[in-house]
Structure 1
């Protein structure tokens, strides 16, 4: 019975990987002073094969500005990738030249410079996530989930999981 309980707790803590397209926003610093830059990385984990990706990374343009030529991606050699500042933040797009892509990859990495003090939220707005060139037909947009993960929060969850396992072991 103890082994069964431990296996169930481990399964709940690890969780099941959902079959979905996921973009994770990772920032190297969450406390950026005026004049400093923050590196933003958008990691993709796509279960659906797509050949066209177009979305907006939203932020307050009065507090941050995009650092020109700071963008990079794992997709530079697979097609046409672009990052364009706009009124809502930064437009990011990719069109594959060699067929649909899926799996895990760095979709985009770029820098933002802090221009004024204040609070800003960061979010993604999907415009197109599709397999446009599949048999010449436009496919419907796929679902996209966005997750923001910070290192301290992840470590805190691991600590809570460890405490729960110790308590189960002591009570079992």
Structure 2
């Protein structure tokens, strides 16, 4: 093999490999995504660490669909579209992978959810888990008027300031 052919051969192999990788990337983008979560349905689960939203037709189905791998997710809170923890108009559940217990102090804030997506201004009751409490905010990015810290409340209208159908973002501690 001549000197020129020996030099061109590695370049040809690299170009071919790059073309194969490009085709594989396009195939992954166009393939129906098993990794892409369903975001239709009235009951949604937001996983803080994975930063993904999974929705389904029931709270249980949404939670099951959002679980990935062998490590179970821990529910930190669930907001309900109805008073008295009713689920007929939807739910918004916040999870983290593995186990997590919130600190007993409100400061520092452990998690801030800056936007509630389709559940904005829909929460009518809320329940927290694993020693967590929630503070609701009128505006996105945890700004505007805020509620007091809430552990569980069957009717958010009974909170000071009336918080049913009002929250756009929240903090967890």
Q: TM-score, normalised by structure 1?
A: 0.31
Q: Which has the higher relative contact order, 1 or 2, with Cα contacts under 8 A spaced 6 or more apart?
A: 1
* TM, length-normalised to structure 2: 0.31
Greater strand content: 1
Higher percent of residues as helix: 2
Higher Rg: 2
